[in-house]
Amino acid sequence: MKIAVACDHAGFPLKETILQAITAAGHEALDLGTHSAEAVDYPDYAAKLGRAILAGQAQRGILLCGSAVGANIAANKMRGIYAGICHDTYSAHQGVEHDDMNVLCMGARILGPEPAREIVAAFLGARFVGNDPGQERHARRVGKVKALETANG
């Protein structure tokens, strides 16, 4: 799987750890920047990551900023992007399995490198279960989320 990675200046210190974690999990990383700790605006990088996923250049994304909040808000403004803030492994895999999350948002000022590696592994190792027998409720719920997105443009 190809994973897009983007960050602002606050997320930059954790980016290399994330790129290595993606490779270690057997996936390919698409580094969308930023490439330094010079101040930049997180919505620009959230948009860059979202556009890469929507264009089919990556199947999922990992977005980093200081807290993960701003990046998460910005990413979720894009139709077809389903981002979640995850600072634990349970949320990272459950967000994919039950909610079809395609963007993991993490705060570089919240997490250290080792928890971040574990969270990335949980996110990348998960798959949406809504089409599995007995799990249809998840597809139904995700369908309702998509209907809200469509209705509210």
* Residue 27 annotated as catalytic: no
- Residue type at 49 in one-letter notation: L
Single out the catalytic residue among 65, 86, 93, 105: 65
> If DSSP codes are grouped into helix, strand and coil, which group holds residue 134?
coil
For the chain, the structural domain boundaries read 2-151
Q: What would the pLDDT profile of 117-148 be if each residue is shown by its tens digit?
A: 999 999 999 999 999 999 999 999 999 999 99
Q: Is the distance from CB of 86 to CB of 123 less than 8 angstroms? A: yes
- pTM of the entire predicted model: 0.96
Give the pLDDT confidence score for residue 153 in this predicted structure: 65
pLDDT at residue number 13: 97
Mean pLDDT of 82-89: 98
2-151 has CATH 3.40.1400.10 classification: yes
Q: Which of 9, 86, 93, 98 is catalytic?
A: 98
Q: Is 65 a catalytic residue?
A: yes
